Amino acid sequence: MAGPALKRLMAEYKQLLQDPPEGIMAGPVSDENYFEWEALIPGPEGTFFEGGIFPTKLTFPSDYPLSPPKMVFTCEMFHPNIYPDGRVCISILHPPGDDPMGYETSAERWSPVQSIEKILLSVMSMLAEPNDESPANVDAAKTYRENRDDFKRRAQILARKTLGID
């Protein structure tokens, strides 16, 4: 199955090179391995994460695009939808089909029509608008809900750290 997956990944990389989403850089770690990517996601303007450049890693399964990649922030993060170890928890990266918990519709979850660009844009949107209803990081969700000023302060510290300022 890796043949079709590799072709798809190569095509998506070519598309990202020709028409990259504003501010986002992404691509394979090496020409020898298109199944491991690195991406830099800017903190969206007008948000708590503004000004930061957040490094991530995407790992694609051999049956991509039938199954979604896994995505992890490789820098320190404090966000309701990012586990403390950096793993991203967002509907678009959840396996296709019905949600066993009944929280998401199948239309919100992964499908082969999704793309790396859509993932990156969704994660950027997630940074701008956290979902604290179904948190991956309960402490971050609680802080976001109950002490927005502290959440903002922590997010801004993290944004500066990505630039090597703090």
Q: What is the pLDDT of residues 100-116, one digit of tens each?
A: 766 777 778 899 999 99
Annotation marks residue 89 as catalytic = yes
Render the burial of 66-105: b for 16+ CB within 10 Å, e for the rest.
Answer: bbbbebbbeeebbbbbbbeebbbbbbbbbeeeeeeeeeee
Residue 96 has pLDDT above 90, yes or no: no
pLDDT in tens, 129-149: 999 888 999 999 999 999 999
pTM of the shown model? 0.92
Catalytic residue among 26, 71, 89, 127: 89
Q: Which residues contact 127 (CB under 8 A, 6 or more apart)?
A: 41, 43, 44, 47, 49, 54, 79
- What pLDDT sits at residue 107? 75
Total domains, the chain? 1
Q: What is the CATH number of the domain that holds 144?
A: 3.10.110.10
The whole domain housing 123 covers 4-162
